[in-house]
Amino acid sequence: MIRSLYYLKAMGYNFTDNKPHKILSKIKNFEDLRSNVQKCNLCHFSKFRRFTLMENQLKPVNLMILDTFGQKIENENGCILESKKGKTLQSYIYNILGLEKEQFYFSYLFKCFSNGKFDDFSLQSCLPFFWNEVELLQPKFILCLGEYAFNSLGFSDFNALRGEIFTHKDFFFMASFELEFIEKNPSYEKKFIEDLKKIKGFL
């Protein structure tokens, strides 16, 4: 019961003091959501958190990009996408879609630094935060980077659906490769670029 209440709180629900089982309202304020993430201690990754791995504010954008986990330097300085990988992604998005950093929203599945590790319990603790972001942002298109991020949202068969555009919960979705995979398998870069080009018409 207590764990269920913590999950609901993480998802943005408030409770009365005298009747903790009674849900008053769902938080519809990004600052409050970010604060909830900052105070979350549902999983062990919170012990490594120095900064919350989230954007500082909502932006009126059409594209949301989801990756799995943040980089060490982002946890140390609190600046999303300022790692080597982040700057590489920004370069792809600008060169192919013509979007600056301020023109798309970026999200990690894991809101605390995980040192490249993840487990199902931590995922289930963090997923409510992501769906709250989606609800608040209302993006037109969500790009999932990597098989893990894609499957974590309840989808399956990454290899068959990679590069395909489909709708789910009134949003357009597409999965493509994560940058770590492309770095290890540079021959797939061309396919990644082709995937990004497909998004342009939806923005």
Q: Please report, for residues 18, 35, 50, 65, 97, the alpha-carbon distance to residue 38 in angstroms, rounded to integers and kept in the order given.
A: 25, 5, 9, 21, 32
The CATH-assigned architecture of domain 2-202 is: 3-Layer(aba) Sandwich (3.40)
Q: What is the pLDDT of residues 53-94, one digit of tens each?
A: 999 999 999 999 999 999 999 999 999 999 999 999 999 999
CA 161 to chain centre: 19
> What's the token pair of residue 200?
């342009």
What pLDDT, in 10s, does the model give residues 131-165? 999 999 999 999 999 999 999 999 999 999 999 99
Supply the pTM of this predicted model.
0.86
- 154: alpha, beta or left, given left = phi > 0 and alpha = psi -120 to 50? left
CA nearest neighbour of 57 among 31, 75, 33, 84: 31
> Distances in Å between the alpha carbon of 73 and those of 10, 52, 136, 148, 170?
25, 12, 27, 22, 35
- Check whether 174 has a pLDDT greater than 80: yes
Tell me the DSSP string of 24-69. Answer: EEE---HHHHHHHHHH--SSGGGGG-SS--S-SS----SEEEEES-
pLDDT digits (tens, 9 = 90+) for 25-37: 466 799 999 999 9
In terms of DSSP bridges, do strands 13-15 and 141-145 run parallel, antiparallel, or are they unpaired? unpaired
Any idea where the domains of the chain sit in the sequence? 2-202
pLDDT of residue 62: 97
Q: Say if residue 1's pLDDT is above 60.
A: no
pLDDT value at residue 160: 95
* Residue type at 7 in one-letter notation: Y
| Largest pairwise CA distance in the chain | 60
The 10s digit of each residue's pLDDT in 102-140 is: 999 999 999 999 888 888 899 999 999 999 999 999 999
Q: Cβ(112)–Cβ(49) under 8 Å?
A: yes
Pairing of strands 166-168, 171-176: antiparallel
Helix (H) or strand (E) holding 81: none
